[in-house]
Amino acid sequence: MKIGFFDSGLGGLTVLKEAIENEGLNEEIYYLGDTKNTPYGTKEESFVKEVIEDNIKYLVDIGCNPIVIACNTATCLSVNELREKYKDIVIIGTEPAVKVAADAHMNKRILVLATSITVRQEKLLNLVENLHIKNEVDLVAADKLVRFAESIDCNERGQEVEEYIKDILKEYDLKEYSHIVLGCTHFPLFVQNFKNVINEICPEANIDIVDGAKGISKNLMNYINILKKEDEVVNKNVIKVITTKESEAFEIRAKQILNEHNLKFEYKLQ
Ligand code: DGL
């Protein structure tokens, strides 16, 4: 069974990692990172929609089903149209885990961090509205974290990352918050940095940092069970990583993020 994963870059690997390590995903995986066009969150929406379409078409053409759009930005821009276009393919989207936070927020506030595109999309605004938590939620763009995550020397830039996070968080009285929702799949790479900053600027805060990886992975495993034919051979630990532009940074970072997993890099050049 060919499972497609798609993100603008490395962020979707945080979802793939969760699915492999904690949900037992064990199929032939095709991970497509759009290295040519990353980051999406600060670009023109019409342009981003076009490249998302090309990328999903690639995964469909090589026979992936289901396809996980492991990217909040791509999901909020295009998932409805893609589902309409590919009716026979299961397309699993990614949404900020606002509901998880809303179910447990105990009248405290929720800070949602995502890309600029995601925070202004109706999809997220409607979600917040429907959960009746509009007045308790702050939506904030944190695009620079995507660039940090994609940089070859990301692991050496912890201090810069934390300065950036501090600049964002210092605007809020963190004691009033119960959750920070990481609404971009790149952001979970910085959970420890978030914790360090919270500890430094507001040690008395009691904040859960949540993301959507678990929910998406569970969803994916359910669909695999439904779609799987009984006699289908399992293709153990084969992960083909495909990018739209050769990128040394991507290769190095992907190996760091997925560490022990068997990665085979292939390049699709558009
Ligand atoms: N990982 C992405 C997301 O979840 C996209 C980040 C970007 O390319 O700006 O939104």
Q: Is 193 in the pocket of ligand 1 (CB under 6 A)?
A: no
- Nearest residue (by CA) to ligand 1, atom 2, is 71
- Report d(CA 223, CA 68) in Å as an integer: 11
Q: Is 41 in the pocket of ligand 1 (CB under 6 A)?
A: yes
Mutate which of 73, 76, 116 for ligand 1? The one with the most ligand atoms within 8 Å of its CB, which is 73
202 is an active site residue: no
Q: Is 33 in the pocket of ligand 1 (CB under 6 A)?
A: no
pLDDT of residue 263: 78
Is the pLDDT at 237 greater than 70? The verdict is: no
The region of weakest confidence among 17-21, 32-36, 104-108, 166-170 is 104-108
Name the active-site residue from 71, 76, 154, 202.
Answer: 71
Is 98-210 CATH 3.40.50.1860? yes
Q: Which pLDDT band holds residue 52 (cuts at 50, 70, 90)?
A: very high
Bridge-partner residues for 264, per DSSP?
240
- Minimum-distance ligand 1 atom for the alpha carbon of 74: 10
Is the pLDDT at 20 greater than 70? The verdict is: yes
Name the active-site residue from 64, 76, 184, 202.
Answer: 184
- Minimum-distance ligand 1 atom for the alpha carbon of 43: 9
Do the two domains 2-94+213-269 and 98-210 of this chain adopt the same fold?
A: yes
Is the pLDDT at 236 greater than 70? The verdict is: no
C-alpha 115 – ligand 1 centre gap (Å): 6
- Nearest residue (by CA) to ligand 1, atom 9, is 41
Give the mean pLDDT of 92-113. Answer: 92
**C-alpha distances out from residue 140 to 72, 110, 205, Å:** 14, 11, 19
Is the pLDDT at 113 greater than 70? The verdict is: yes
Q: Is 39 in the pocket of ligand 1 (CB under 6 A)?
A: yes
pLDDT of residue 233: 66
> How large is the angle between the packed helices 72-85 and 45-61, nearest 10 degrees?
60
pLDDT of residue 238: 80
Residues 27-47 pLDDT 10s: 999 999 999 999 999 999 999
Is the pLDDT at 91 greater than 70? The verdict is: yes
Secondary structure (DSSP) of 170-189: TTS-GGGEEEEEE-STTGGG
71 is an active site residue: yes
- In the DSSP assignment, the letter for residue 41 is T
C-alpha 39 – ligand 1 centre gap (Å): 7
pLDDT of residue 234: 65
State the average pLDDT for the chain.
94
Q: Which pLDDT band holds residue 53 (cuts at 50, 70, 90)?
A: very high
User: Higher-confidence residue: 104 or 169?
Assistant: 169
Query: Where along the chain do its domains lie?
Result: 2-94+213-269, 98-210
Q: Which pLDDT band holds residue 116 (cuts at 50, 70, 90)?
A: very high
Secondary structure (DSSP) of 60-94: HHTT--SEEE--HHHHHHHHHHHHHH-TTS-EE--
Residues 119-165 pLDDT 10s: 999 999 999 999 999 999 999 999 999 999 999 999 999 999 999 99
Mutate which of 68, 185, 216 for ligand 1? The one with the most ligand atoms within 8 Å of its CB, which is 185
C-alpha 229 – ligand 1 centre gap (Å): 33
R_g of the chain, CA atoms, integer Å: 18
The region of weakest confidence among 6-10, 57-61, 229-233, 237-241 is 229-233
User: What class is the 2-94+213-269 domain?
Assistant: alpha beta
Q: Which pLDDT band holds residue 193 (cuts at 50, 70, 90)?
A: very high
181 within 8 A of 109, measured Cβ to Cβ: no
